[in-house]
Structures are given as structure tokens and as C-alpha cells.
Amino acid sequence: MSKSFPIPLNALRAIEIVARRGALAPAAEELGVTVGAVSQHLRRAEERLGVELFARTPQGLKPLPDLVRVLPQLSAGFTQLQDGLAGLTGAQDGVLNVTVGSVFASRWLIWRVHKFSALHPGLELRLTVTGTMLDLGRPDIDCGIRYGEGDWSGVDTRLIGGQDFQPVCAPLLLEQLKSATDLVRVPVIEDRTSMLDWPAWLRRAGLDPETALGGPVYSDASLAFDAAISGQGVLLAADMMTADAVSDGRLVRPFDLPVTGAKGYFLATAKGRRESKKLSLFRQWLEAEVPASVCGYVHQQPPGGSVT
């Protein structure tokens, strides 16, 4: 006969959330209880298990090694429970909730949502656009698209593209860029949110990777793109994100010298989450649409419109 849980399931859920998020408040919000109640859950669980689970530090609660070791199993277990309940009730079968960053949403996905909807008219794509890395284990999020190296904790990833990058600029700057050495004489846009590597590209172009470049500074990636389109300077950007603007003439690649980096765009899901039918359809669509877009697909844009 199977043994009952030594601690209540709600307490186990509180432990999992606090260990993953490093704070009591997210667990309180998700469980619909007070922060004090969550604290009591943790204290009583430690007493019943006879194991200290968290270190209380000035920076918050830090899971101790024993808890860190089993946390992936706990997270995967709760994710599977959520998926099982959703499958039992059929909840949200017709909605796919995706969290994405603003650049991917505004420069690529928003121009293609209609294509996905046309292929799958019974499936609504709902986007949560944010620069914050949301918890993919939340029941209201099916998947995310993240930029990086794909090695996030507690997440399963599949690369979809975006590893090639190079400088782009408005056509009016092209005459000033006969060679890569001309970059020191034109404005170079600094996107402070970018994870792209100017030194790597300069090295590929045969220049000193420490070459000083200067120009307008932006802390919003979408504004940096608009600045490049308006002719304010040269921007280092992923080919996948600039493909449409290059195809329709708003941007040019003055050197046609891409570099393939370690970072890219990944389809990400909570570790242990089964691939639902709707997520499988979205993944298959991305696998077909991303290569097509990079190879020169031009989106249908309203007359006089711009990607914003």
C-alpha cells in the first residue's frame, strides 16, 4: 500500500515555488494565502521531515543542497499535475498562451500570427509580451520564446533560429560604409539590452575587437531598431529580426558578413511538461516559418506602415 504524503500537498507546492522563486510572496499569490501562511507551511514541513530546507539569508530564502537536488522532480511533478487536470477538463484546448520579448513579438511574430491562425482556425494564439523572464511553470503559460544560450534552469528548450547577426543600417548611410573600417566615422547605435557581441563581429571583419564605436544609446530594443530604420546609425542585429526590413528596403546589410553566435531564439517549456497537441502545432509552424522568413519572406505590411 502506498504511503500518504508526510506533509500536505499545499505545503509541498509552497516549498517548490519558494525554492524556485526565492521569496514567499509568489507562493502566497499562487496558493491564494497570506505570506505568513506560506512561512508556516515551510516551518511545519521542515519539522515533519526532520530536514532543514532553506537557509534564511538577508537576500531571502535560499534552498539548501538537499532541496536543490530534488527541486527538478518537484517542479516536473506539479507541471504534470497541471497538464493532467487541463487534459481531464479540456480547459484552454483552443488557446495557446505564449510569453515573448518585445523584439521577437514586434519584429517577427506579430507579422505572421495571421498565417498561424489561417492554418489552425480553432486555435487562438495569446501573447504575453514582456522583458521579464516569466515562470514557465505557471498554469496560464504554455510556452515561451527566449533569447540566449538555451541553458535556463528548469526549462526544456528547442532552438528555432536567430544565431546569425551582423550590422544593418538605413539605405541613406550605405554610401558612407565602403568597408568595415568606416564604422568609426558613422554613428553606431548602442542597444543596452542587446546580448549581441560587437567584438566578435569586428574580429570577423578583421578589425581590432576593442575598436571604439559611438552613437545614440537606447535602453529599449524596439526603439533601437526604429532608430536604425530612421537613419540614426548602424545597429548590430540578428538576421532573423531584420529579414523583413532588409527585404522591403528599410534596412540594408552594408557588409553582408554574418557571424554565427552561441545565442539564439529558443522555444522554451517548463521541464517535464508534456507536448500538447496545440504546442506541437506551434512548434511545427515555427520550424517551417523561421527558415522561410530568413530566406527572404516579405511580410504584408499596410501602406506606409512600419514595424514598431
Q: What class does CATH assign to 164-260?
A: alpha beta
In this chain, the answer to whether the domains covering 9-89 and 95-160+263-294 adopt an identical fold is no
pLDDT digits (tens, 9 = 90+) for 78-137: 776 766 666 655 555 789 999 999 889 989 999 999 999 999 998 999 999 987 778 887
Query: What is the residue extent of each domain of the chain?
Result: 9-89, 95-160+263-294, 164-260
Q: What's the pLDDT score for residue 16?
A: 85
Task: Report the C-alpha gap between 219 and 225 in whole angstroms.
Answer: 11
Pairing relationship of beta strands 143-148 and 264-270 according to DSSP bridges = antiparallel
pTM of the shown model: 0.69
Low-confidence ranges of the chain (pLDDT < 70): 1-5, 80, 82-92, 295-308
Whole-angstrom distance, CA of residue 253 vs CA of residue 249: 10
Cell representation of residue 174 = 550605405
* pLDDT tens by residue, 46-71: 888 888 999 888 877 888 998 988 88
User: Which CATH number does 95-160+263-294 carry?
Assistant: 3.40.190.10
- 5-35 burial by CB neighbour count: b if 16+ within 10 A, else e? eebeeebbbbbbbbbbbeebebbbebbeeee
* Domain boundaries 9-89, corresponding CATH code: 1.10.10.10
Res 86: pLDDT: 62
Alpha carbons 136 and 134: distance in angstroms, whole number: 6
Residue with cell 530564502: 61
Q: How many CB atoms lie within 10 A of CB 180?
A: 18
DSSP 175: G
pLDDT value of residue 276 = 87
Burial code of 125-145, b = ≥16 C-beta within 10 A, e = fewer? bebeeeeeeebbbbbebbbbb
Do residues 127 and 100 lie in contact, with contact meaning Cβ atoms separated by under 8 Å?
yes
Q: Grid coordinates standing for 230? A: 530612421
- The DSSP call for residue 23 is S
pLDDT, position 75: 76
Task: Give residue 196's pLDDT.
Answer: 93
